[in-house]
Amino acid sequence: MINRALHLFGGMLLLSAVSCSPRDQVTGSPAVVTENKAGAGPATPLYAAPLVMHAQPWTLEGPDGKLITTNAYRLYTTSTKSFIVDNLPPFLESALAHYTSVLGHLPLPTEPLEVYVMDTRPQWERMTQRFMGEQAHIYLRIQKGGFTSNGRAILYDIGRRDTFAITAHEAWHVYTQRTFKNPLPVWLEEGLATYMEGFRWDTQSEERPRFLPWANFERFDQLRWGVRAGRLMPLDTLVQSTPQQLISDDLNSALFYYAQVWGIVHFLAEGADGKYRAPLFELISDAAHGRLVPRIQREHGGRAASAYLTRKRGVDLFSMYFGVSATAMEAEYQAFVQHITTTGTRQHIWQGLSPLKPAPTFAPRERGR
């Protein structure tokens, strides 16, 4: 069963389809270099190897392209830009290492993960029509960027920074669709995808990203705006909402949704003196290894488990995993959001540092991209 969800990346309308099909447990690991500088939060992968295992010609109805095979990915691209062709393969490998380590140890895929990055929107439209058939018209409504469906990301070049950020977001969906045995709840699936967007280029090497979940101005600025405008949804409403519902009502509400679920993941990972971090790891791991739905069935019955598989919501996972309901957690979450969006914290975001820590005294200049 496939559950499609419209969502926004910055101001861009996107669409993801989250697969409910169980997958086999995966094994193996790439070679990864990690870093954990003082004050920078958890260890984050910088680089994964081997970078490129094989490259061969690939043609999309005319334009010559390349199929670049890495340890875990098949990257199909018609781009001739070196910043995509040269940098995206190591970026994807590093992103996967980040996905599987930053919030606990998660399984690696047993089959290649497919990412398509077209050079132009017309090429992307043809690829969308080829893969999605009669449903292509739904996906062609996307204003900019791309989508993920059936464990395959279909994207196109939208500029230097945004192309890599959207790839990090959508490749998370590819990873969970192909690897997780149970689906995550909508709020957490999308929250983690936004959490994975944050990165900076390593100042020692232009090709190597440093994945830093706080380094995300799009989500931070939207969250801060929502706080100041009084537009944030209560936590219990947020976790039962879906992006497509909000987009149909109010585009800004959908933008606030993504900013808030980004904030929820940070709160659960770092807020409240870290008391929710281990349960967050457990929830993600249970979904990855197929333990989440059986637990719902044990605690709430078969009907609740079936409803969750269909809707990815409707079950009080907060009480199950964090020991309190979303309503009871509201005050802690709101205090956290208020704190991280106070004046002066944007400098932390620029450096990819946690706003919960003291303000940095020096902001090194990042190499331009």
| Distance (Å, whole) CA 315 – CA 323 | 14
pLDDT tens by residue, 183-209: 999 999 999 999 999 999 887 765 689
What number is the average pLDDT over the span 15-41?
37
- The residue with greater pLDDT, 168 or 241, is 168
Task: Tell me which of 127-141, 184-198, 340-354 is least confident.
Answer: 127-141
Whether residue 173 is predicted with pLDDT greater than 70 in this model: the reply is yes
Percent of the chain with pLDDT over 90: 65
What number is the average pLDDT over the span 37-63?
60
**217 band by pLDDT with thresholds 50, 70 and 90:** very high
Whether residue 74 is predicted with pLDDT greater than 50 in this model: the reply is yes
Contact of 47 with 208, CB cutoff 8 Å: yes
Q: Show Cβ contacts of residue 57 under 8 Å, excluding neighbours closer than 6 positions.
A: 64, 65, 66, 67
Candidates 273, 262, 255, 258; CA nearest to 214 is 262
Q: Show Cβ contacts of residue 197 under 8 Å, excluding neighbours closer than 6 positions.
A: 9, 165, 166, 168, 169, 216, 218, 219
Task: Tell me which of 13-27, 166-180, 308-322 is least confident.
Answer: 13-27
Q: What angle do the packed helices 186-195 and 160-179 form, to 10 degrees?
A: 140
CA dist 365 to 108, 201, 351, Å? 34, 11, 9
Could you give the residue ranges of the DSSP H alpha helices within 290-362? Answer: 292-300, 302-311, 317-322, 326-340, 346-351
Candidates 139, 141, 149, 199; CA nearest to 173 is 149
| Distance (Å, whole) CA 243 – CA 261 | 11
What number is the average pLDDT over the span 339-357?
92
pLDDT tens by residue, 275-329: 999 999 999 999 999 999 999 999 999 999 999 999 998 899 999 999 999 999 9
| Distance (Å, whole) CA 140 – CA 151 | 18
- Can you name the residues that pair with 102 across neighbouring β-strands? 104
Per the omega criterion (within 30 degrees of 0), is the bond before 50 cis? yes
The pLDDT value recorded for residue 357 is: 80
The pLDDT value recorded for residue 253 is: 67
- What average pLDDT is seen over the chain? 83
3-class secondary structure, 166: helix
**246 band by pLDDT with thresholds 50, 70 and 90:** low
| Distance (Å, whole) CA 331 – CA 276 | 15
What number is the average pLDDT over the span 3-16?
47
φ, ψ of residue 171 to 5 degrees: the values are -65, -25
Contact of 75 with 117, CB cutoff 8 Å: yes
Per-residue burial over 244-278, b = 16 or more CB atoms within 10 Å of its CB, e = otherwise: bebbeeeeebbbbbbbbbbbbbbbbbbbeeeebbe
Contact of 6 with 72, CB cutoff 8 Å: no
What tokens does 136 get?
């292509």
| Distance (Å, whole) CA 147 – CA 145 | 7
Amino acid at 74: R
Whether residue 26 is predicted with pLDDT greater than 70 in this model: the reply is no
DSSP letter at 183?
P
φ, ψ of residue 23 to 5 degrees: the values are -125, 155
- The residue with greater pLDDT, 80 or 2, is 80
Could you give the residue ranges of the DSSP H alpha helices within 28-135? Answer: 82-85, 88-99, 121-132
Whether residue 4 is predicted with pLDDT greater than 70 in this model: the reply is no
User: pTM of the predicted model, to two decimals?
Assistant: 0.84
Whether residue 18 is predicted with pLDDT greater than 90 in this model: the reply is no
CA atoms within 13 A on the CB side of 278: 3
Contact of 145 with 124, CB cutoff 8 Å: no
What number is the average pLDDT over the span 20-42?
36
Contact of 354 with 270, CB cutoff 8 Å: yes
The DSSP element (H or E) to which 217 belongs, if any, is helix 217-229
Whether residue 17 is predicted with pLDDT greater than 50 in this model: the reply is no
| Distance (Å, whole) CA 232 – CA 213 | 21
What number is the average pLDDT over the span 203-220?
86
